[in-house]
């Protein structure tokens, strides 16, 4: 660049090429990320990367089981309720020990 703070045509073209090149690279990376993000492997890896604690995992399991319990009660599927209740008791023991 020249000292008078004005860009020559050549310098301006070089800067424009650099900017366009970087934008294309970012777009390519974005497209790749979008593709990878939607794969089965990415979904399981993302979940593993959450690093869920034993307590959070137990709470999540308890929430799921309580939802199932409500569904089974509404449908009057009491045998399923008994199975879910046993699992909930087990989860509650885990939570007590944490």
Angle value at C-alpha 49, between 67 and 69, nearest 5 degrees: 10
* Per-residue model confidence (pLDDT) at position 56: 93
* Per-residue model confidence (pLDDT) at position 92: 93
- Residues 62/91, Cβ–Cβ less than 8 Å: yes
pLDDT along the chain (98 residues), means of 10: 73 90 82 73 73 91 96 96 95 91
- Residues 81/72, Cβ–Cβ less than 8 Å: yes
* Per-residue model confidence (pLDDT) at position 75: 96
Q: What is the pTM of this model?
A: 0.53
* Per-residue model confidence (pLDDT) at position 3: 58
* Per-residue model confidence (pLDDT) at position 23: 85
Integer Cα distance of 22 and 28 in angstroms:
10
């Amino acid at each position: 660049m020249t000292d008078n703070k004005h860009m020559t045509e050549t310098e301006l073209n070089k800067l424009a090429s650099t900017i366009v090149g970087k934008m294309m690279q970012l777009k390519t990376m974005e497209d790749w990320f979008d593709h990878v993000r939607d794969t089965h492997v990415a979904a399981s890896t993302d979940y593993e990367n959450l690093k869920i604690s034993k307590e959070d995992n137990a709470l999540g399991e308890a929430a799921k089981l309580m939802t199932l319990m409500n569904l089974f009660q509404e449908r009057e599927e009491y045998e399923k309720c008994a199975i879910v209740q046993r699992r909930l008791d087990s989860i509650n023991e885990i939570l007590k020990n944490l």
